[in-house]
Amino acid sequence: MTDLVVVGAGTMGAWTALQAIRGGRRVTLLDAYGAGDPRATSGDETRITRASHGPDEFYVHWSRAAREDWIAVGDELGQECFVQSGAVWFARDKDGFEAISVETLGRLGIPVERLAPADAAARWPQISVDDLAFVVFEPEAGLLMARRSVAAVASRVADLGGTFDIAPARPGEADGSRLLDVVLGDGRRVAGDQFVFACGPWLPGLFPDVAGDLIRVTKQDVCFIGPPAGDTRFAVPSLPCWIDYEASFYGVPAVDGRGAKIAPDEYGVPFDPSSDERLVDERSVRQAHAYIGRRFPALAGAPVVETRVCQYETTPDTNFVIDRHPAFDNVWLVGGGSGHGFKHGPSIGRYVTTLLDGHIAEGPELRFRIDRPREVAATGAGARRVIDAAFQG
């Protein structure tokens, strides 16, 4: 029997497994499709990692610690997981989220710059900033090579003596308040002392009574725009990652031979991660072209060269779910990563292992509890427009 069975090899599950095996546990990691699979929320090419979280120092500390872990595991594996491109925030409100983030990061000693539009335009002339109050630059932020990095973390679990198996798994037999095993798709059973279900968009389906009304899964379209031939202004290192909070768009510079990534940060339609086809909507392409043409004029009319369909799995307040299953003493549910969960993977994994050791959540960590009332988060303007009224209950 293994000490720990982790179901789900996305950023939360893979890092939980890796942190646990480094702590001396015997670990079995299971994933229905494989780490970095296109169906997974962790399966796209890139993710942004940044420290700005408004006034929330807790997530600032988590993101900074996770950044160091991503760098260290890349060094350990001999591959680049983190690319320090920097990240810029486009601020329209002089006293909004971006301004508060600058104050928080400055107080914590994290490098950050507040730039007047003219200064930002001089540094990045390929960006149109005339409509902005100011621009925030995080020089130590950047992008994570999501798909290949999470696959590498899962493989590292096996390298260190754990078991990594590609197989769907569901809860099996129980003895009172203890789960005894999980059942795989072919009928095999894997017994364990403790269980972590970090199943991303599949978590509500596995535990509908607990997570069905807590986590909403939505379709998220992503486009990659092809710059003109020979134009490197929209690739690393010439362009940082960027976030336009109020317009509900974000983007990643071209890297690894791909186009410049742009995605709307608004909730799409409900989505089945297993069976729904991953074809972007024409509306998403039109939105991407319209925004790119305004913010990056040299890309006006440039073609979409690739598309992705990802998904968010979002709680109402966007805080994660990291809590013991209410019916089992040895089962933990970990999810609700949405768009900002990937970067926190190492910190989430470290925290989950402390829970497995008997740590009791307190302070800011109480935000992750299943039974805590959650209010709908104040998000960017685009996201507010499309929040389903039913999700506010």
Q: Which pLDDT value is given to residue 357? A: 95
Residue 169 three-state SS: strand
- For the chain, percent of residues with pLDDT exceeding 90: 91
CATH of the domain at 186: 3.30.9.10
Place 334 in a pLDDT band, splitting at 50, 70 and 90.
very high
Q: What is the CB neighbour count within 10 angstroms for residue 159?
A: 13
Contacts of residue 285, defined as CB under 8 A and 6 or more positions apart, other chains included, come to 221, 223, 304, 307
Mean pLDDT over each residue of the chain, to the nearest integer: 94
- Cβ distance 331 to 324 under 8 Å? yes
Query: pLDDT tens-digit profile of 116-160?
Result: 999 999 999 999 999 999 999 999 999 999 999 999 999 999 999
Query: pLDDT tens-digit profile of 52-80?
Result: 999 999 999 999 999 999 999 999 999 99
Spatial separation of the C-alpha atoms in residues 353 and 342, rounded to whole Å:
18
Question: Between 389 and 207, whose confidence is greater?
Answer: 207
Q: What values do phi and psi take at 239, rounded to 5?
A: -125, 135
Query: pLDDT tens-digit profile of 228-266?
Result: 999 999 999 999 999 999 999 999 999 998 999 999 998
* Residue bearing tokens 């060094």: 75
103-107, 227-231, 347-351, 374-378: the lowest-pLDDT one: 374-378
Contacts of residue 362, defined as CB under 8 A and 6 or more positions apart, other chains included, come to none
pLDDT higher than 90, residue 354: yes
Residue 103 three-state SS: helix
Phi-psi label, residue 8: left if phi above 0, alpha if psi -120 to 50, beta otherwise: left
pLDDT higher than 50, residue 27: yes
Q: Which pLDDT value is given to residue 1? A: 81
Q: Which pLDDT value is given to residue 199? A: 96
- Selection from 231, 306, 237 nearest residue 83 by Cα: 237
The total of structural domains in the chain comes to: 1
Q: Which pLDDT value is given to residue 375? A: 86
- Cβ distance 16 to 40 under 8 Å? no
280-317 burial, b at 16+ Cβ within 10 Å, e below that, comes to: beeebeebbbebbeebbebbeebebeebbbbbbbbbbe
pLDDT higher than 60, residue 392: no
pLDDT higher than 70, residue 383: no
Query: pLDDT tens-digit profile of 271-309?
Result: 999 999 999 999 999 999 999 999 999 999 999 999 999
pLDDT higher than 60, residue 390: no
Q: Which pLDDT value is given to residue 272? A: 97
Structural domain that includes position 328: 2-392
184-217 burial, b at 16+ Cβ within 10 Å, e below that, comes to: beeeeebebbbbbbbbbbbbbbbbeebbeebbbb
Place 378 in a pLDDT band, splitting at 50, 70 and 90.
low
Q: Is the dihedral of CA 75, 76, 77, 78 positive or negative?
A: positive
